[in-house]
Amino acid sequence: MLSLTTLYVDDGAILASSPTLDVNTHIITMAFEETHSWLMKRGLKTDQVKNKLMHFSKSRNQNTTPTIHIPSNIPGELKTVTPAKCMQYLSLWFNPKLNFHEHIKIMASKASRATEALWMLGNSTCDLHQCYLRQIYLGAVLLITTYGSIAFWDGKSSYIKNALEQVQNKALRFITGAFKTTPITALEIEASIPPIDITLNYYMERYATQTNRLDPSNPIICQTPERHRVDIPTSPPPPLPCFPPPPCSLISAYLIECHKMKVKQDTTMRLICMSKHITPDAECINPLAETPWRRSEHDYDIGNHIRLYIPMNDPGTSAKLDWAEDHANLFDEHRDDEETLFIYMDGSLSFKNGTCRMGYGVTVFRKGEEIFMKNGAMGKFMEVYDMEMKALKVASNILHNLIRSMMRTPTHHQKSSSQPTTQVPYNAYSRVARGKHNQAP
């Protein structure tokens, strides 16, 4: 059996929510075991060096450090993952309290070092003009300082404001060349750089405007309160855990009712703060009104034109012989069909005399004969994945050009307005290395 599944995951995450952290660990363990089993059956694996665990909770009455035991890439062995106190995900630094204090410290430190590096440009006889220093700050240092501000800025945090102000004040003194005793307000006016809280609010308002370009099924739109997305139908968001009221034996009915009303009120989530800046009745723009893979009405049956075959890969077994036999039968079946193309592509990596050589190759067969072949070499600093992508790009261009030529030159049994049918079986075991094509097994 040939699988039709393709997979590419970068920075994947498994999230779980439950009343206790111990339940969360069991849910994550079962989810990871199922994912690991699914990947191993297809010859894939995770980079377990990057496996990290973090618990998000504000409760002080339960164990905040439960570990998980997940299967490793070595069969029969388990790996213990302990919760981290600080974790980087998508270039943002998280901590268990989700207050982004660690992220602010790291970004402020990077921006401070970048500001100090500007002294190397200005500490000379003919130093840079103030306009150029200001431009460098706005184009490089400020972007480091405010990276991820949509996630951490709530519009009123004094800790965030003070930490980022210190970096900007250092840059203001360097740009203007003023003394340390000069008021910061005067430096901001002289350098034409607004206070950091105004800049963060501007970024928040600009992102609120950009939400009008998001699809209604986007998670951000689904979590936005209804009054901020009028006339925008959305799919129901995933259920979130609610906060249970205090026990009746410990608190009066009046306080329970107050607690229920407090739960219904808007919280200080960053998403809620951003949603308040969305302009009501704004025009919603769909940047991809027509998806790139459906460019015209003639491509409604593109799934019948291009077929992808990927063999199953069970641990400890090899499907090479079965795959080779299936492919040989498929090749013989379409040997005399002039409307079927077989495209083989691959990347190669080799070492010769201590030199790393990398290249790609693509070849096309039609009616049992090779009609096109192309190969090339790339730099030694590339990866095998880059070679595979280069070969795939070349194959796509070849296929596009061949289909266009077939449409311009109809065969004797086709009308000029007919659409040719082209099947492109992809052989995962064919190899093109060192510029020469090796036939499939």
Model confidence band, residue 89 (pLDDT cutoffs 50, 70, 90): confident
Phi-psi region of 107 (alpha: psi -120 to 50; beta: other; left: phi over 0): alpha
Closest among 347, 342, 343 to 361, alpha carbons compared: 347
What are the tens digits of pLDDT across the range 166-223?
999 999 998 998 898 999 999 999 999 999 999 999 999 999 888 877 877 777 887 7
Query: Above pLDDT 70, what percent of the chain?
Result: 72
Question: Residue 331 burial (CB < 10 Å; 0-12/13-18/19+)?
Answer: middle
Round to whole Å and give the CA distance between 379 and 386: 10
* Across 112-126, 270-284, 422-436, least confident range: 422-436
Residue 160's pLDDT is 93
- The more confident residue out of 397 and 60 is 397
Contact call for residues 72 and 78 (beta carbons, < 8 A): yes
- The more confident residue out of 157 and 264 is 157
What are the tens digits of pLDDT across the range 318-370?
777 888 888 888 888 888 887 788 888 888 888 777 777 888 899 988 888 88
Residue 185's pLDDT is 93
* Across 26-30, 313-317, 406-410, least confident range: 406-410
Which helix (DSSP H) or strand (DSSP E) does residue 396 occupy?
A: helix 384-408
Which of 82-96, 191-205, 229-243, 311-325: highest mean pLDDT?
A: 191-205
Residue 301 pLDDT greater than 70, yes or no: no
Strand 355-366 with 369-378, pairing: antiparallel
- The more confident residue out of 119 and 109 is 109
Residue 164's pLDDT is 95
Residue 184's pLDDT is 94
Closest among 430, 222, 220, 249 to 346, alpha carbons compared: 430
Model confidence band, residue 29 (pLDDT cutoffs 50, 70, 90): very high
**b/e per residue 99-108 (b: at least 16 CB within 10 A):** bbbbbbebbb
For range 35-48, the mean pLDDT: 83
Q: Identify the residue whose tokens are 């951490």.
A: 152
DSSP assignment of 304-341, as one string? HH----EE-B-TT---HHHHHHHHHHHHHHTTT-TTB-
What are the tens digits of pLDDT across the range 377-423?
887 777 778 888 888 888 888 888 877 776 665 544 433 333 333 33
Contact call for residues 263 and 242 (beta carbons, < 8 A): yes
Task: Name the pTM for this structure.
Answer: 0.58
Q: Identify the residue whose tokens are 């659409």.
A: 419
Cα-Cα-Cα-Cα torsion 86, 92, 98, 103, nearest 10 degrees, comes to: 70
Whole-number average pLDDT of the chain: 77
Residue 317's pLDDT is 74
Closest among 424, 418, 399 to 334, alpha carbons compared: 424
Dihedral sign, Cα of residue 276, residue 280, residue 282, residue 284: positive
In sequence order, the 6+-apart residues with CB closer than 8 A to the CB of 34 are none
- The more confident residue out of 58 and 68 is 68
Closest among 147, 142, 91, 153 to 277, alpha carbons compared: 153
- The more confident residue out of 21 and 184 is 184
Residue 428's pLDDT is 31
In sequence order, the 6+-apart residues with CB closer than 8 A to the CB of 168 are 142, 145, 193, 196
- Number of separate helices (H) and strands (E) present in the chain: 14, 11
Residue 19 pLDDT greater than 70, yes or no: yes
Q: Domain locations in the chain?
A: 2-84, 93-208, 214-275, 297-407+418-438
Q: Identify the residue whose tokens are 């901001």.
A: 188
Question: Residue 416 burial (CB < 10 Å; 0-12/13-18/19+)?
Answer: exposed
Contact call for residues 28 and 68 (beta carbons, < 8 A): yes
Query: Above pLDDT 90, what percent of the chain?
Result: 22
Residue 297 pLDDT greater than 60, yes or no: no
Closest among 100, 73, 105 to 89, alpha carbons compared: 100
Question: Residue 168 burial (CB < 10 Å; 0-12/13-18/19+)?
Answer: buried
Q: Which CATH class is domain 297-407+418-438?
A: alpha beta
Residue 111 pLDDT greater than 80, yes or no: yes
Residue 280's pLDDT is 73
Residue 101 pLDDT greater than 80, yes or no: yes
Residue 5's pLDDT is 52
Model confidence band, residue 311 (pLDDT cutoffs 50, 70, 90): low
Model confidence band, residue 426 (pLDDT cutoffs 50, 70, 90): very low
Rounded to 10 deg, the angle between the 158-176 and 196-210 helix axes is 110
Q: Two tokens at 358?
A: 């990398």
